[in-house]
């Protein structure tokens, strides 16, 4: 009889671990989907803004911006430098009475505003909503992770928080 109970306990433990693994997998897949949504929104917004301003290759620049936006700070900074260089060296002038350098600076300012809107509003809201974490708390966690661990903290804070939250909820609900 004891042997059957021990086997039953092992099966329960294995089952709960699989369930926890499935929950973690689901949370990380949802996070990945939300990141893709954020990247898509950034791509579309960038394309619209650069097109309206009159920067050449707006669609290509928007695709690059969306793709690299997943890397905090460095991604948007790289995209901003590329877009600014294009604005300076293209043949189209969207600020006709000023130096081309001011066009590059204008694009940098556009990207800085876009980056702030993304990092402080869009991403925390969408990821917080999909993960069930208040956006302000998520922003605080990311800032702490970034200040503590640099770029790696910026990249990994949200997935780590989501995994820890999932583990906590799993063991809280199972009563262990």
- Which tens digit of pLDDT belongs to each residue from 103-152? 899 999 999 999 999 988 898 899 888 888 888 898 889 889 989 998 88
Cα distance between residue 164 and residue 87, in whole Å = 44
For the chain, give every domain's residue range: 2-174
Cα distance between residue 36 and residue 42, in whole Å = 10
Reported pTM: 0.78
Q: In 17-53, which positions are buried (b, 16+ CB within 10 angstroms) versus exposed (e)?
A: eeebeebbeebeeebeebbeebbebbbebbbebbeeb
Cα distance between residue 4 and residue 23, in whole Å = 28
Q: Are 61 and 79 in contact (CB under 8 A)?
A: yes
């Amino acid at each position: 009889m004891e042997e059957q109970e021990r086997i039953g306990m092992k099966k329960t433990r294995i089952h709960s671990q699989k369930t926890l693994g499935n929950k973690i997998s689901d949370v990380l897949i949802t996070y990945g989907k939300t990141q893709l949504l954020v990247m898509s929104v950034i791509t579309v917004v960038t394309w619209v803004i650069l097109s309206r301003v009159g920067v050449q290759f707006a669609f290509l620049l928007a695709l690059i911006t969306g793709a690299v936006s997943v890397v905090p700070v460095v991604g948007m900074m790289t995209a901003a430098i590329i877009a600014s260089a294009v604005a300076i060296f293209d043949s189209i002038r969207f600020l006709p009475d000023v130096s081309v350098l001011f066009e590059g600076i204008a694009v940098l300012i556009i990207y800085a505003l876009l980056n702030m809107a993304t990092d402080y509003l869009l991403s925390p809201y969408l990821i917080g909503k999909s993960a069930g974490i208040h956006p302000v708390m998520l922003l605080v966690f990311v800032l702490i992770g970034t200040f503590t661990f640099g770029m790696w903290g910026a990249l990994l804070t949200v997935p780590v928080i989501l995994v820890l939250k999932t583990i906590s909820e799993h063991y809280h609900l199972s009563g262990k």
